[in-house]
């Protein structure tokens, strides 16, 4: 697929074609890093050019914290383990519920 540049003196058409074809073959951050070093550009510059051409696919960002565990989920797990329904177990503290679940699992 041949993409055309919009008056870009930094990226000749041959370089654009090469970048696009290689990135489409392997759309990863490692490919961007290789292209940047090969063409003496910064990674951000290569990403910006691929984005402007509509080719770049943003990588998923990892979450900074683990998924939240709710007290209701802990109570449900405890009740399932013990095969007993507790009416007021929801009133117990989160730490106590975790300790109880670890003890019975």
Q: Which residues contact 3 (CB under 8 A, 6 or more apart)?
A: 16, 17, 20, 53, 55
pLDDT band at 65; cut points 50, 70, 90: confident
Banded pLDDT at 8 (limits 50, 70, 90) = low
- Could you tell me if 81 and 29 are in contact, meaning their C-beta atoms sit under 8 angstroms apart? no
pLDDT at 61 over 90: no
**What digits encode the pLDDT tens for the residues 89-105?**
889 998 999 999 899 88
Answer yes or no: is pLDDT of 7 > 70. no
Residue 69 pLDDT: 85
Distance CA 33, CA 38 (A): 9
3-state secondary structure 25-69: HCCCHHHHHHHHHHCCCCHHHHHHHHHHCCCCCCCCCCCCCCCCC
Residue spans per domain, the chain: 1-62, 71-104
Q: For the chain, give the mean pLDDT.
A: 88
User: In terms of Cα–Cα distance, which of 17, 18, 21, 16 is closest to 49?
Assistant: 16
By C-alpha distance, which of 56, 2, 67 is closest to 45? 56
Confidence band, pLDDT 50/70/90 cuts, at residue 39: very high
Tell me if the pTM is above 0.95: no
């Amino acid at each position: 697929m041949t993409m055309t540049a919009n008056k870009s003196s930094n990226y000749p058409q041959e370089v654009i074609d090469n970048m696009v074809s290689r990135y489409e073959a392997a759309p990863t951050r490692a490919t961007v890093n290789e292209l940047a070093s090969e063409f003496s550009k910064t990674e951000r510059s290569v990403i910006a050019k691929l984005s402007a051409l509509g080719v770049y696919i943003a990588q998923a960002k990892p979450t900074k914290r683990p998924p939240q565990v709710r007290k209701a989920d802990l109570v449900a797990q405890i009740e399932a383990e013990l095969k007993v329904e507790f009416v007021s177990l929801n009133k117990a503290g989160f730490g106590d519920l975790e300790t109880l679940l670890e003890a019975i699992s």
